[in-house]
Amino acid sequence: MPQKSEPNPGRKSPKLKRMGLHERAAARMRTMIIRGELPPGSQTQEARLSKELGVSRTPLREAMKVLAAEGLIELRPNRSPRIADLAVDGISELFEALAGIERLAAELAAERATERDLARLRTLQTRMEGHHRNGKLDEYFAINGEIHDTIVRMARNTPLREAHVTLISRAERARYLALGADRRWSNSVDEHAGVLAALEARDSETAGRLLGAHVRRTGTALLEVIAASQAKQTAAQS
């Protein structure tokens, strides 16, 4: 099974710079939510988070407003904010929309990508495969996301990229959870290799079809992970 990166208990969290303090705090909290360090349904503890992130409570609260707008945190009157539950009911629709956007992006990228673009994509693919072999899930996930973002950028279509940014921020937690399944992780590596080959061949139809199917399968894998988890919980309560 993939291994998550372990924090170094002997290393203090770096203080965040004053410029863009709440954006930086939001970025760190977003990562913590995606990786399950701040689990769904849990209440936020301002004192602990302020200390861990090296910020005062004012920028921390601003960061929470940013994450609330993304659907990752629930702000509640007269109560501590809580980490939002994963919206299972909307997963199929979310990944359906994301698949459509990335399919079009891949089709356009096959036609518009420069040789430099493709060389960068090959480098990212090689790095991602190395993280997979070494069982480094967090590092793999970061490169995986960079690959998807690179393909969308290669399409050179601003409205398409803007739509992708909006949807991918809602899907990050779901994608991470889906990749936690060993079978999906291995399949994902092979699917990415197929997309890269189609892009290098300038085969827009195949590139789009493969990337769209890849994104849809991630959504399906997530639903399977959630169903298995719920079945396990039900069995434990019996």
Which portions of the chain are predicted below pLDDT 70? 1-19, 180-182, 229-230, 233-234, 237-238
Predicted pLDDT at 108: 98
Model pTM above 0.85: no
Give CB contacts under 8 A, 24+ apart, made by 208-211. 208/103, 208/104, 208/106, 208/107, 208/110, 209/103, 210/106, 211/99, 211/102, 211/103, 211/105, 211/106, 211/151
With 0-12 CB in 10 A as exposed, 13-18 as middle and 19+ as buried, what is 156? Answer: middle
Q: Cβ–Cβ contacts within 10 Å for residue 115, how many?
A: 8
DSSP string covering 107-157: HHHHHH--HHHHHHHHHHHHHHHHHHHTTBHHHHHHHHHHHHHHHHHHT--
Using the 8-state DSSP alphabet, how is residue 70 labeled? T
Predicted pLDDT at 173: 84
Predicted pLDDT at 162: 95
Q: Cβ–Cβ contacts within 10 Å for residue 104, how many?
A: 20
With 0-12 CB in 10 A as exposed, 13-18 as middle and 19+ as buried, what is 126? Answer: exposed
What is the residue whose two structure tokens read 């936020």? 44
CA 188: distance to chain centroid?
Answer: 14
Q: Yes or no: say if 91 and 218 are a contact pair by the CB < 8 Å rule.
A: no
Give the helix/strand (H/E) hosting 65. Answer: helix 57-69
What are 101's two structure tokens?
């956007």
Q: Yes or no: say if 182 and 137 are a contact pair by the CB < 8 Å rule.
A: no
The per-type count for the chain, helices as H runs and strands as E runs, is 9, 2
Predicted pLDDT at 131: 94
Predicted pLDDT at 178: 78
Predicted pLDDT at 2: 54
Give CB contacts under 8 A, 24+ apart, made by 160-168. 160/101, 160/104, 160/105, 160/108, 163/101, 164/98, 164/101, 164/102, 164/105, 167/94, 167/97, 167/98, 167/101, 168/98
What is the residue whose two structure tokens read 């992006």? 105
What are 43's two structure tokens?
């209440």
Read off the pLDDT of residues 111-163 as tens digits, 9 standing for 90 and up.
Answer: 999 999 999 999 999 999 999 999 898 899 899 999 999 999 999 999 999 99
